[in-house]
């Protein structure tokens, strides 16, 4: 396990993470710290625990919005896939009908060509 010191609200915290995840942990701490700073700007100093809870709720709200957007996009992708499958099926049917008509027209042309000779 790797140890990383992160800063939140100007205070250092030693955290553990998997090897190779140190930078990601630092980025997460920066995200939390930016929310803490936003709380301090909007509400003022309300105590560390309350401030961290408020910042955590703000991050959770952003996460919740992202999850809803992802779900909506997944539904949209599923709808597009279904529409693509329907279009491919219709195209295959049109291709088959066109091929049949082309063969029929070719046969008629051959009969006409034989009559002309």
Model confidence over 55-89: pLDDT tens digits? 999 999 999 999 999 999 999 999 999 999 999 99
Q: Is 71 helix (H, G, I), strand (E, B) or coil?
A: helix
Tens digits of residue pLDDT in 8-38: 999 999 999 999 999 999 999 999 999 999 9
- Burial profile 66-100: b = 16 or more Cβ within 10 angstroms, e = fewer: eeeeeeeeeeeeeeeeeeeeeeeeeeeeeeeeeee
pTM over the 0.75 mark: no
């Amino acid at each position: 396990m790797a140890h990383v010191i992160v800063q939140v609200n100007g205070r250092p915290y030693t955290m553990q993470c998997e090897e190779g995840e140190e930078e990601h942990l630092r980025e997460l701490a920066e995200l939390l710290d930016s929310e803490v700073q936003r709380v301090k700007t909007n509400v003022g100093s309300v105590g560390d625990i309350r401030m961290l809870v408020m910042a955590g709720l703000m991050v959770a709200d952003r996460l919740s919005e992202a999850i809803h957007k992802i779900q909506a996009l997944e539904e949209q992708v599923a709808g597009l896939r279904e529409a693509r499958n329907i279009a491919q099926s219709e195209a295959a049917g049109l291709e088959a009908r066109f091929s049949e008509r082309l063969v029929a027209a070719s046969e008629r042309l051959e009969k006409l060509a034989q009559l002309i000779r």
